[in-house]
Amino acid sequence: MIATTIIEWDMGHRIPFHKGKCKNIHGHRYKLEINVEGNLIRKVQHSSESMVIDFGDIKEIAHTEIYDACDHAFMFYDKDTDLRNFFNSHKDYKYIIVPFIPTAEEIAAWIYSKLNDRFKDFYKTGLKLHSIVVWETPNNKAIYSRKDFMHAKNK
């Protein structure tokens, strides 16, 4: 069974080599779906009995690992020298330097890798992170799943 929690945040980025307008500095209202897979907890009188995981536990992890870092921040590629120079001279701004171009697809993979170990066997019931869905706009999303993670890990 899969339990899903959704969080949202505002963040800026740019796609430095994009052929269109996304090469410009801009921002989005990101929506993140965290899908956790596992069996129902059958431990009698456990706080999370009959749940895969308490939604509050997913939300707490998501806020600690993703929301707190990303909300009202600017994410940029570490090889984007224009933005690196700008943020080096404006250290009081909130930013995240990443080793990838911050597309929705790469952000989804990054979030998956950040959260994967946090859910691994959370309640000792075989719980695991199933997939991450990053909505960059209301009409565009990227999905990164356990299958993608295992494939990338085995390369």
For residue 95, tell me if it sits in a domain.
Answer: no
Which residue among the candidates 18, 26, 46, 72 is catalytic per the annotation? 72
Residue 19 lies in a domain: yes
Residue 13: inside a domain: yes
Q: Which of 22, 37, 65, 105 is catalytic?
A: 22
Is 72 buried (19+), middle (13-18) or exposed (0-12) by CB count in 10 A? exposed
Residue range of the domain that includes 17: 2-73+104-153
On whether residue 80 sits in a domain, the answer given is no
Report the CATH number that the domain containing residue 115 is assigned in CATH: 3.30.479.10
pLDDT tens per residue across span 40-73? 877 777 777 888 889 999 999 999 999 999 999 9
90 is annotated as an active-site residue: no
The number of distinct structural domains making up the chain is 1
pLDDT in tens, the chain (155 residues): 999 999 999 999 999 999 999 999 999 999 999 999 988 877 777 777 888 889 999 999 999 999 999 999 999 999 999 999 999 999 899 999 999 999 999 999 999 999 998 987 676 677 899 999 999 999 999 999 999 998 888 87
- What's the whole-model pTM score? 0.93
Clarify whether 22 is annotated catalytic.
yes
